[in-house]
Amino acid sequence: MKINLTAKAPKTINQKFSFYTEELWKKDKKNYGNNIDSLFSGKKNETFISVENDSINFLIGLGEKPENFELQSVASKFSYDFRKKIQSENTEINAENFDAAQILELVKGLFLGTYEYPFKEEHPFFMKGFNLVLNKVSEKELKEIELKTSAICKGQFACMEWLNKPQNYKRVPQISEFLKEISKKHQFRLTVFDRKKCEELGLGAFLAVNQGSSQEAAFTILEYHSGVKNAKTVGLVGKCVLFDTGGISIKPSDNLHYMKSDMGGATAVIGTLIAAAEMKLPVNITAILPITDNAVSNNAYIPSDVITAYNGKTIEILNTDAEGRMTLADGLSYLAKNYRTDALIDLATLTGSSVRMFGYTCGAYFSNNNDLKKSLEISGDKTNQRLWNLPLWEVWKDDFKSDVADFKNISSKPFGDCIVAGKFLEQFIEDHPNWAHLDIAGVAFGNVQYMKEKGATGYGVQLLINFLENFQ
């Protein structure tokens, strides 16, 4: 993906993107025609095209007092909505009143708005002749904007692309081949355990989900090493259920096709790894993706089974549709037992309970560390990939105690499942003192500008990248 930015204005500029807050517009409107007040006021997502001779000026409204993430959102919508009207020419961003950080968000938004599924570099921004002129930034700032924009786009587009793929286009061999490719490109250390190896290691909770599948298990470990001396290490575990039928506890048929989205935690992790490597972030990442589907077959695990997880804990199965916490349990305990990490974070499209609580506004999260809570919330607020903290009180543990095993995989009570799931996962972190669980079921896949129905939002990539940039 080539992003053409320059700080040196060419002789001819035939196109401008002029971003205005309502306040800035009041000061600058005198430079335009007398009758423009009835056509443009700077309101959020308002757009007016001014044509003079051979020059086109897109006036784009940002609203009253936009946050930085709103700049990105407006620019993205404009880029997508006007993709057939934007010309592949030298284009100046008229952003005199914005600082470098704000211009970064505008540029990121413009290029993120080029995404359609399947992604192809067919937007005018990728055509020969297009150059984006940022004449108010230094060369150093320009290079940083270019690097971060390219990295975020590559990471987020990979995240969205794999989440949007139909089930038959993202079976274990296909995603495994992709992970091999990015590992080679970015020099990730790649380790994959097949079913036989998982059996030898005792990854019983993961294998229970996989045993009903016709596809090979792929318990996958990716390691990004920054090369920076004494760099901190963050452990990431992403739920990677390629398609979730619910297993024997089969889901209703309505909207079942959306269950291709049940790998949203994994795609966020994949996108983060790509972006971090592109940006050469001075932090190490160890990521685990327990890759499988949750299928219905004569070999599938069934309610009443008792499963032994990697850490030796036994789990009574009450519902095979609570498969995500099974795969994550082994992913978390394997990572905690075999790798030293300064923080441990798992992400998963885990429960309908979180969706019923927060809708599509934010993810639910749980943590045993107040500093980690604060850092994740700050990153969520900065990127608009927001999180809301829920408790891990010990009383919730009583809800999944079993008569025949250490734990049940769900509570029998009809409420609080996202909290129960978080408390359940806590039993598999091996007393890690700096852990967080992110339930992103409502925000990873939803209403998007590029699809009539639901699609991947890219949630998690910018959140984690901002977190990693500030992790100390």
Structural domains of the chain, with CATH: 5-137 (3.40.220.10), 154-469 (3.40.630.10)
Max mean pLDDT range (23-32, 52-61, 247-256): 247-256
Tokens of 70: 């709103």
Give me the mean pLDDT over the 152-181 stretch.
98
Give me the mean pLDDT over the 452-463 stretch.
97
Task: Convert the pLDDT of each residue in 90-110 to its tens digit.
Answer: 999 987 789 999 999 999 999
Q: Write down the catalytic residue from 195, 325, 386, 423.
A: 325
pLDDT at 322 over 80: yes
Q: How confident is the model at residue 4 (pLDDT cuts 50, 70, 90)?
A: confident
Q: How confident is the model at residue 448 (pLDDT cuts 50, 70, 90)?
A: very high
Mean pLDDT for the chain?
Answer: 96
DSSP 8-state assignment for residue 10: P
Q: How confident is the model at residue 67 (pLDDT cuts 50, 70, 90)?
A: very high
pLDDT at 285 over 90: yes
Task: Convert the pLDDT of each residue in 244-274 to its tens digit.
Answer: 999 999 999 999 999 999 999 999 999 999 9
pLDDT of residue 123: 97
Q: Is the pTM of this model over 0.85?
A: yes
**Residue 246 neighbours by CB under 8 Å, 6+ apart:** 294, 296, 320, 321
HEC string for 429-450: CCCCCCEEEEECCCCCEEECCC
Tokens of 46: 């308002």
Q: Is there a catalytic annotation at residue 184?
A: no
pLDDT of residue 1: 83
pLDDT of residue 11: 80
Residue 344's beta-bridge partner residues? 235, 435
Give me the mean pLDDT over the 162-187 stretch.
98
Residue 438's beta-bridge partner residues? 347, 365
Q: With pLDDT > 90 as the criterion, what percentage of the chain qualifies?
A: 91
Give me the mean pLDDT over the 293-308 stretch.
98
Q: How confident is the model at residue 35 (pLDDT cuts 50, 70, 90)?
A: confident
What is the rounded distance in angstroms from the CA atom of residue 146 to the CA atom of residue 75? 16
pLDDT of residue 251: 97
Range with lowest mean pLDDT among 134-143, 201-210, 369-378, 429-438: 134-143
pLDDT of residue 53: 81
pLDDT of residue 415: 86
pLDDT of residue 84: 96
| Cα 6 from chain centre | 29
Give me the mean pLDDT over the 308-315 stretch.
98
Q: Which residue has the tokens 């990248």?
A: 465
What is the rounded distance in angstroms from the CA atom of residue 324 to the CA atom of residue 335? 16
Work out the angle at residue 385's Cα, subtended by the Cα atoms of residues 380 and 391, and round it to the nearest 5 degrees: 60
Max mean pLDDT range (33-37, 61-65, 133-137): 61-65
Could you list the beta-strand ranges (E) of 14-130. Answer: 15-21, 47-52, 55-63, 90-94
What is the rounded distance in angstroms from the CA atom of residue 359 to the CA atom of residue 352? 9
pLDDT at 25 over 90: yes
pLDDT of residue 37: 84
Q: Is there a catalytic annotation at residue 356?
A: no
Q: Write down the catalytic residue from 43, 136, 232, 251.
A: 251
Q: How confident is the model at residue 387 (pLDDT cuts 50, 70, 90)?
A: very high
